[in-house]
Structure 1
Amino acid sequence: MTLPPKVKTPAWLLSQQLKNNPLGCMDAIYKRYGDVVTIMSGSTPIVYVSNPSGIKQIFNNTKQITDSGTFFRDSTLTVEQRGILQIDGLVHKHRRPLLMKAYHGERMNASGQRICKLTEKIISQQGIGKTFTAYEIGLKIILQVAIEVVIGLREGERYEKIKRLFTSLIKYEESPLFDLVVKQFAFAQLDLGRWSPAGYRNYLYKEILQFLYDEVQERRKQADYSRTDMLSELIFARDETGTPLSDEEVRDLLFLPILASRDGAAHSLTWCLYWVHSLRDIREQLLEELDSLGDNLNPMNIVALPYLNAVCNESLRICSSPMFMLPRLVESPLEMMGYELIPGTVLIGNIYLIHQREDLYPEPKQFKPERFLEKKFSPYEFLPFGGGARNCIAAPFAMFQMKLVLATILSNCKLELVNNRPEKQKRFDDQCHPKSGVKMVMRGQH
């Protein structure tokens, strides 16, 4: 077997480097080993690909390369996992369209006004001269939008309860305690009850799943066909055999789209706010484009603005979140990029390094939105939401939301960065987050 070049750094040291300086570590690996490299995990070769031709082969060769839900099941959780990432085969193929309906067409368009109003309300609560973190504001906006779009809840006791539960889970999983203890020590992954680190995490998961299950049952009793949220869509949906989905399956399918508020949307928005407020010329050009709409500031006109689209795309390129594609498994002998891969090899597309290729993106470390005005990139060259059968189902909605939130913030207030120093990165699983959360200060409201 001829594997791609193996990274020689010891596994423990490589893990620390990827944690402390993920982008610098990956840049160094690319410079030394090239765009197809092997990192061994015990006896299993994990091949990282940052070549567009290799990515195309991963997406299109579904006979020899498969995606398995086993990759996405968290062994530290004691709760059942049957969400869109954990299911396989025909079941996965039939569930994706059911979930995607909530993020397309009229459903997506109808949520635009609500996104703008929520953003305006939340950002206006920041006092003049008050310092805050862009991540906290972004998470608050996007989590509330997700609860309304996915579950269909508005103001009220249940709305506040699910918001509080998800916020607690997100903050706990991103806390230094969880990162230091649960991820580093095997014994800490044992569920010893609510007062143990892993046990508290499981407690929050169970509380959320119970809430969703109760909501599913209550909504099924109401049988309101006029509702347009994802929960209502799934309640009346039928599987590939024509049978309605069970309450448990609807519950699990709802969970991930809400939690994705943290894993991509909130941090991507934070990076975008950072870049726009780091580069005055970019911000001024965006404001001019927004002003050109005059009184036509409706959501559909906003999301059609070309420079706004280019700015959001460039932010997703330069600060890829996630940094990697979801893993695939080689099922039968395979030739890729001149290398021979055997069954059992794991393939992972390196999104960050693809977005840093100088042959695709000259001066890749520079924030240049005009790239996306001058050229249309293929889905193997620009893939901020992954690709293939496991690409993010909410990608169109995520872009729609990102544009509207950014445009609404710029139109309603003047913000400044507290620090002019370059923002450092922090790794969280396969995400690259702004380490400080991007500290900002409100200077005025329009």
Structure 2
Amino acid sequence: MINQLPNSVTNPSWWQLIKWIADPIGFQQKYSQKYGDIFSVNLSVIGSFVIIGHPQAIQEIFIQDSKFDIGRGNQLAKPHLGQNSLMLMDGSRHRRERKLLMPPFHEEKLQTYAQQICSITKQIVSQWQISQPFLARSAMQKVSLEVILLIVFGLSEGERYQQLKLLLPSWLDMIDSPLRSSMVFLPFLQQDWGRWTPWGQMKHRRRCIHQLLQAEIAEKRTKKDKNQSDVLSLMMAARDENGQAMTDEEIKDELLTILFTGHETTATMLAWALYELHRNSDVLEKLLQELYKLGENPNPMEISRLPYLTAVCQETLRMYPVIPIIFPRITKSSINIAGYQFEPETTLMPSIYLVHYREDLYPHPYQFKPERFLERQYSPSEYFPFGGGSRRCLGYALALLEMKLVLATVLSNYQLALVKNRPIRMQRRGLTLTPNGGVPMVITGKR
């Protein structure tokens, strides 16, 4: 039976793919204006997809998540994260792995991490110089990388720490532009002809990271320190209902997944927050007043509960989704969504961007207005920066905690300004979207 997909974009599939790689936001804007909330695209070698920007339809999808294969829809990430990544799993294996990965993200562990995040941020920003220009995203990457190395890998010194500190960013920077990101989407570019080719170099760096992680796992096994609270130690200690631990290969791929989804994305969110706060002086002033009320050396968890700071982070995540769509859902059998009958093997892609910019949900959606999150409670299908359904990001609470504490620490200690008060566009960086140019800023004084 031929699956009749709704509102199909008629341009050649190769043209659609190029546009999707180069500018996924502009692509969605254009065709949602033409076709509405639900339309179909054919992205050539990647496949055909139904993009969905209607909250009710997305709610129907989230409720029926068990009727979709989701890990199978994430195969683009396999060369980077490995076949043992939670992102690529479905069914019972996904449920087992997700359960094993939950302990590091429990509330009591977050309290331990909170103090470490503040200490790392203070240490890095204390090196900043007055009148010194810097790129907000690069600066936030330094903070985020140190947080990952300490909280996830348990590393803050030593040879392995130094090697990972250099290797991890260089690996991720290999897809730092729309052109270089093409490697992720085009199989014919994924040729390993040695380290002089981009794909060969990328695979070499990944192998080096794997070797360092394996050495760290082996060392932790010999030490058997039960008081370690880093994510890696907790992953190694976790057992399923049959008493089975994760294998070393599973642990390494999950660590790369946390790095890929945690380090890059948090740095990007922080850069966008600094950008919007310094374009909207009234919002910045209101946030500073809230922070000052806590007095000297406030408890990090107190900071994390501040309502306006929370709203600032929520609004940043609304306006600047780190990925343009959430995990694709592949139908396992015929299913009805929003009045459309979809045949088996249809891939549905809920769009964060299209929902987060709906005028009926977010009046004046292009304005940075944190107050909207104080005035209204949004449902999980109206606001879902960390995905939804059975695939909501496991580390979302840690990501939000880091975002709040880093912002509070930076803003409480330094006066900053944008080098140029001009609009900055989102740019493709692999599977994610980042600020084009990295948000140039300058330090104008200390608080």
If the length of structure 2 is used for normalisation, what is the TM-score?
A: 0.94
- Residue of structure 2 equivalent to 1:57: 60
Q: How does 1:25-174 map to 2 (within 5 A)?
A: 25-41=27-43, 45-69=48-72, 71-72=74-75, 74=77, 80-174=82-176
2:366 is equivalent to residue 365 of structure 1: yes
The alignment partner of 1:201 has SS state of helix
Letter in 2 for 1:276: L
In terms of mean alpha carbon deviation, does 35-44 or 294-303 score higher?
35-44
In terms of mean alpha carbon deviation, does 187-196 or 163-172 score higher?
187-196
In terms of mean alpha carbon deviation, does 329-338 or 422-431 score higher?
422-431
In terms of mean alpha carbon deviation, does 225-234 or 407-416 score higher?
225-234
Aligned partners of 1:135 and 1:437 also within 8 Å? yes
Show CA shifts across 1:184-222 (max 9, x none).
Answer: 875542101122111000001001111111111111111
Show CA shifts across 1:228-260 (max 9, x none).
Answer: 111111212223421222222222222211222
In terms of mean alpha carbon deviation, does 200-209 or 144-153 score higher?
144-153
Structure 1 gaps of 5+ residues are none
Note closer, same or farther for the CA distance 1:139–1:52 as it changes in structure 2 (3 Å cut). Answer: same
2:16 is equivalent to residue 22 of structure 1: no
Q: Distance in 2 between matches of 1:262 and 1:246?
A: 23
- Residue of structure 2 equivalent to 1:405: 406
Q: Please state how far the C-alpha of 1:327 moved relative to its aligned partner.
A: 0.8
Q: Please state how far the C-alpha of 1:294 moved relative to its aligned partner.
A: 1.5
2:175 is equivalent to residue 178 of structure 1: no
In terms of mean alpha carbon deviation, does 289-298 or 327-336 score higher?
289-298
Note closer, same or farther for the CA distance 1:22–1:252 as it changes in structure 2 (3 Å cut). Answer: closer
In terms of mean alpha carbon deviation, does 58-67 or 129-138 score higher?
58-67
Q: Distance in 2 between matches of 1:162 and 1:333?
A: 46
- Residue of structure 2 equivalent to 1:391: 392
In terms of mean alpha carbon deviation, does 385-394 or 85-94 score higher?
85-94
Q: How does 1:200-239 map to 2 (within 5 A)?
A: 200-239=201-240
The alignment partner of 2:65 has SS state of coil
2:317 is equivalent to residue 319 of structure 1: no
The alignment partner of 1:194 has SS state of coil
Note closer, same or farther for the CA distance 1:170–1:45 as it changes in structure 2 (3 Å cut). Answer: closer
Note closer, same or farther for the CA distance 1:75–1:158 as it changes in structure 2 (3 Å cut). Answer: closer
Aligned partners of 2:133 and 2:442 also within 8 Å? yes
In terms of mean alpha carbon deviation, does 268-277 or 95-104 score higher?
95-104
Q: Please state how far the C-alpha of 1:168 moved relative to its aligned partner.
A: 1.0
Query: Number of paired residues?
Result: 444
Q: Distance in 2 between matches of 1:177 and 1:317?
A: 26
Aligned partners of 2:104 and 2:235 also within 8 Å? no
Note closer, same or farther for the CA distance 1:15–1:247 as it changes in structure 2 (3 Å cut). Answer: closer
- Residue of structure 2 equivalent to 1:250: 251
Identity of aligned residues (%): 39
Note closer, same or farther for the CA distance 1:429–1:55 as it changes in structure 2 (3 Å cut). Answer: farther
Note closer, same or farther for the CA distance 1:173–1:296 as it changes in structure 2 (3 Å cut). Answer: same
Q: Distance in 2 between matches of 1:148 and 1:262?
A: 12
Aligned partners of 1:52 and 1:381 also within 8 Å? yes
Q: Distance in 1 between matches of 2:79 and 2:311?
A: 40
The alignment partner of 1:132 has SS state of strand
2:257 is equivalent to residue 275 of structure 1: no
Q: Distance in 2 between matches of 1:234 and 1:416?
A: 41
Structure 2 gaps of 5+ residues are none
The alignment partner of 2:206 has SS state of helix
The alignment partner of 2:434 has SS state of strand
Aligned partners of 1:84 and 1:96 also within 8 Å? yes
**Two-structure CA RMSD over aligned residues (Å):** 2.0
